[in-house]
Amino acid sequence: DTAVSQTPKYLVTQMGNDKSIKCEQNLGHDTMYWYKQDSKKFLKIMFSYNNKELIINETVPNRFSPKSPDKAHLNLHINSLELGDSAVYFCASSQAGGAGDTQYFGPGTRLTVL
Amino acid sequence: GQQLNQSPQSMFIQEGEDVSMNCTSSSIFNTWLWYKQDPGEGPVLLIALYKAGELTSNGRLTAQFGITRKDSFLNISASIPSDVGIYFCAGRESGGSYIPTFGRGTSLIVHP
């Protein structure tokens, strides 16, 4: 069984479009995250949600809007896509968002903006 | 904010060789984590360290939490082709956010 799943795996779209990436975790964790991995493989935290509540928003443009319908899901909606949004986006989850937490990552969604 | 310097950036080795990589931070950390990312996959936690001086092994992997609390290293012994991937260190700053900061990764290629 997949612990953290994301869809789609690949997403190719034109500049200016709006797209969504879905994430689900079946681990019973309270905290979920979105990371962006750029072409140089740098992993940068974008958002953290704890029990459906936004905890951290790391200076991400407001074109990016995460939505958490329940604590097992954290979707990422992106408006007016730009070339610089091309990257791999990883969803992750952890038990409680604490110092001893282990983050479990999804397989990633490769977004290409043309 | 804290900065993590991870080195080397990449390594090309022969199967059977030992590998060593390290991370240093500009501030004191209370947690060091080592992840591996296989091509096309998300990072997977290999080893977590929570105490200065702690030395932990996971099969052929050994990681240590530096005494100064500002560094950590990961060793891989007797490398095999499936060790190929990107290895990331990550750490939590003492008194800082619970979300770890990631290093820029070490890309490992193992030649059979």
What is the tens place of the pLDDT at every residue in A42-100?
Answer: 999 998 988 878 877 777 899 999 999 998 999 999 999 999 999 999 999 998 766 67
| CA dist., res. B56 & res. B58, Å (int) | 7
Does pLDDT of A34 surpass 90? yes
Contact residues on chain B for A40, CB-CB shorter than 8 A: 104
Q: What is the mean pLDDT of residues B36-65?
A: 95
Q: Which of A33-47, A92-106, B46-60 has the lowest mean pLDDT?
A: A92-106
- How does DSSP classify residue B100? P
Does pLDDT of B106 surpass 90? yes
If phi > 0 it is left, if psi is from -120 to 50 it is alpha, else beta; for residue A100 that is alpha
Which single residue is written with the structure tokens 């407001």?
A62
Contact residues on chain A for B42, CB-CB shorter than 8 A: 4, 90, 92, 105-108
The token duo for A74 is: 């954290």
In this prediction, residue B74 carries a pLDDT of 98
Which residue out of A103, A104, A109, A110 would a mutagenesis test of the B interface target, given it has the greatest number of B Cβ atoms within 10 Å?
A: A103
| CA dist., res. A76 & res. A47, Å (int) | 10
Contact B73, B22 (CB under 8 A): yes
- What phi and psi, each to the nearest 5 degrees, are found at residue A100? -95, 10
**What percent of chain B is predicted at pLDDT more than 70?**
98
| Nearest of A6, A20, A27 to residue A106 by alpha carbon | A6
What is the tens place of the pLDDT at every residue in B80-105?
Answer: 999 999 999 999 888 777 888 999 99
Amino acid at the residue A51: N
Torsion sign over Cα A48, A54, A57, A60: positive
